[in-house]
Structure 1
Amino acid sequence: MDYVIFHNPSCGTSRKVLAALREAGIELEIRLYLKSPPSPAELADLLARMDMTPRALLRRKEKVYAELGLDDKSLSDATLIAAMSAHPILIERPIVVTPKQAVLCRPPEKVEALLP
Structure 2
Amino acid sequence: MSRTDVVIYHNPACGTSRNTLALLREKGIEPQVVEYLKTGWTKAQLEGLFQRSGGVARDFLRERGTRAAELGLSDPATSDEALIAAMVLDPILVNRPIVETEKGVALCRPAEQVLGLL
TM-score w.r.t. structure 1 length?
Answer: 0.91
Partner of 2:7: 4
Q: Which runs of 4+ in 1 moved over 3 A?
A: none
Partner of 1:102: 105
Percent identity between matched residues is 51
Q: Shift of the alpha carbon at 1:72?
A: 2.8
The equivalent position to 1:78 in structure 2, one of 60, 81, 89, is 81
What are structure 2's unaligned runs of at least 5 residues?
Answer: none
Q: Shift of the alpha carbon at 1:103?
A: 1.1
Partner of 2:53: 50
Q: Shift of the alpha carbon at 1:101?
A: 0.6
The equivalent position to 2:28 in structure 1, one of 18, 25, 41, is 25
What are structure 1's unaligned runs of at least 5 residues?
Answer: none
Deviations along 1:36-73, whole A, 9 cap, x unmatched? 12201110110011111111111112341123111233
TM-score w.r.t. structure 2 length?
Answer: 0.90
Partner of 2:92: 89
RMSD: 1.3
What SS class does the counterpart of residue 68 from structure 2 fall into? Answer: helix
Is residue 14 from structure 1 mapped to residue 8 from structure 2 by the alignment?
no
Instruction: Name the CA distance, whole Å, in 1 between partners of 2:41 and 2:59.
Output: 17
